[in-house]
Amino acid sequence: MIVDDYNVALRSQFNNTKALLLHAQSNASLERWKESLRNYTVLNKEIPEDISIANSLAQVHLIFKNYQAARSL
């Protein structure tokens, strides 16, 4: 699975922002909201001037929040 490839890349090069971004996007497409949120949070701290990362972080945060609310019903 492609997410596993990104996991390997991130273990060997933790500060590889491209791999981390692709990992975040892959996790989001697989609806792994918590993992995607974690990835985007790290990216946002490392590259705070990147508006697309900030927007993706906000979007995933909202989806994750709604997901948690739906699960608690």
Task: List phi, psi (to 5°) of 18.
Answer: -65, -45
2 or 39: which carries more pLDDT confidence?
39
C-alpha span between 60 and 15 (Å, rounded): 21
- The per-residue pLDDT for 54 is 98
| Domain extents in the chain | 2-71
Confidence class of residue 12 from pLDDT cuts 50, 70 and 90? low
| Model pLDDT for residues 13-55, shown as the tens digit of each residue | 666 898 899 989 999 999 999 999 999 999 999 999 999 999 9
Confidence class of residue 10 from pLDDT cuts 50, 70 and 90? low
Q: Per-residue DSSP letters for 22-69?
A: HHHHHHHHTT-HHHHHHHHHHHHHH-TT-HHHHHHHHHHHHHHHHHHH
Q: Is CATH 1.25.40.10 the classification given to domain 2-71?
A: yes
